[in-house]
Chains A and B, each alone.
Chain A
């Protein structure tokens, strides 16, 4: 009797290992960089805006980096992760060890993180930067972020409704737990830490990293929740005009909150 293997069964080992790897690189690493960049808001509107300028200096290549290095690996990790989560059977009621609870938490936080990230990208980015779609999303209160008015648009988006900061706090906490615990289990999966003593040491390191990243993430969240968006916008507009003049920033009306105002300013500034 021969078995008809499904695609997933046939490539189970490879798929699981790719799933494990993408959790660290690029998805996990990206999350850390993203939260640290966001926390630069604590250094002021200028610091955050400069960080965003640096990212957007990729210009037309940005969309490829976004999809190739972030969205697609993330979608693979998330969708295959849902399959993994549903293939297990929770049994903490009979075997209530801390590790077993973490096994459950890893799957639940993964699902929370998936829902959060999908809504977070919709909220700020809008998923697709195509004219009509972006307009539609913006009218729904989504696709709020404008890269050349980075801090003010992020702050306004966050302050629009109390639901957002709550969702973000839950989402960040779930994502960071999933990352820190995931790095620890990944070390076992790939055979990096082997003995129980080594696993314990690695566990402490992962927990410390998790707490650190969580603090950074919450600092960023608090920074945007309390930012004066109007003041920030004035600073950003000044930075934009000057950065365009010095050639640091490629003019792009789509990345601005109020392009007309700045066109007028640029017009008067020209000799």
Chain B
């Protein structure tokens, strides 16, 4: 399966950053070509021999990864300018699509950089907490088995449940602006986290959270919290921030019908808000 025009080296350009709030800079690496590499294996090769194209020995690149099969979302980054999981980004495919023959790696631009390709994705999970993206099952007594769900309902809910909170939809969303709070000198972790949460709480929750609100509002047990979820969707940074660019659904690696969920949530909050106004 070796194409005749296979390069001898893979040119990799990485956007690096030594710590939160610091200036980013680029480094170039040349990796001997091998078949069937993905971005993670390229990063492993650079880590084993962290020498730039100029022959300079540098600190190994920091990156995040987990499952290596596109279900955990932690290795999400910008690859040749587009957001996707690095585990499922195959070098051979990238070289086919990239006329420059270069692979460019950058951290996601909508989240604060921790170091190199590692970003702080806490805001993703804060948004899930805001819309109560769970089913309440705990209590002081046995609540018994949940109500039966129809086949149709299950089939509608399953695609929505595939979200792995990777952040692709948020990275591609033109309405989702980066929120970065720089830690002050001598500030405790707790005080810093509180400031981060306060800043995040008024910023856009994003399509993933809207989708989860729709998923759990469609669940017979999840419906107990329906009004609270709809209320959360109309708070500052709620569904109203959506600008209908529909990039979320275009980049979602799990092909979740995010814009359908957004429209469904739009209808639900319309009804909820009108009812509330006249009640």
Contact = CB atoms under 8 A, between A and B. Distances in A.
Contacts of B198: 1-3
Given A1-B198, A3-B202, A91 B247 contact: yes
B52 interface: no
A1 B240 contact: no
User: Which residue, A17, A97, A189, has most C-beta atoms of chain B within 10 A?
Assistant: A189
A149 B82 CA distance: 59
Contacts of B51: none
Interface stretch (A42-50, A59-67, A82-90, A165-173): A82-90
Contact of B262 (A1, A103, A106, A188): A188
A190 interface: yes
A12 B263 contact: no
B266 A189 contact: yes
B202 A100 contact: no
Interface in B227-257: 234-247, 250-251, 257
Interface residues of B, number: 43
B259 A199 contact: yes
Interface residues of A, number: 36
Contacts of B250: 95, 97, 99-100
Contact of B202 (A9, A90, A194): A9
A203 to B, nearest CB: 11
A97 B172 CA distance: 11
A103 B149 CA distance: 38
Interface string B257-279: 10110111111111001000000
A193 interface: yes
A95 B172 contact: yes
A103 B174 contact: yes
Contacts of B269: 13, 191
Given A87-B175, A194-B260, A196-B260, A189 B242 contact: yes
Contact of A191 (B81, B235, B268): B268
A5 interface: yes
Contacts of A90: 174
A185 interface: yes
A94 interface: yes
B177 interface: yes
A83 to B, nearest CB: 12
B49 interface: no
Contact of B263 (A13, A17, A199): A199
A13 B269 CA distance: 10
A12 B266 CA distance: 14
B79 to A, nearest CB: 11
Centre residue among A102, A188, A193 by max chain B CB count within 10 A: A188
Given A1-B194, A1-B198, A89 B263 contact: no
B129 interface: no
A11 to B, nearest CB: 9
A3 B259 contact: no
A189 B240 CA distance: 8
Given A100-B247, A190-B266, A13 B81 contact: no
Contacts of B240: 12-13, 16-17, 189
A97 B263 contact: no
Contact of B174 (A89, A185, A190): A89
Interface string B206-237: 00000000000000000000000000001111
Most B CB within 10 A of own CB, among A106, A190, A191, A193: A191
B201 interface: yes
Given A3-B198, A17-B270, 17 more contacts: A2-B198, A5-B202, A12-B236, A93-B81, A94-B81, A95-B82, A97-B250, A99-B244, A99-B250, A100-B247, A100-B250, A103-B244, A190-B266, A190-B270, A191-B267, A191-B270, A196-B259
Interface of B: 81-82, 172, 174-175, 177, 191, 194-195, 197-199, 201-202, 234-247, 250-251, 257, 259-260, 262-270, 273
15 contacts: A1-B191, A3-B199, A12-B238, A99-B250, A100-B174, A100-B245, A100-B246, A103-B245, A188-B266, A191-B265, A191-B268, A191-B270, A193-B263, A194-B267, A195-B260
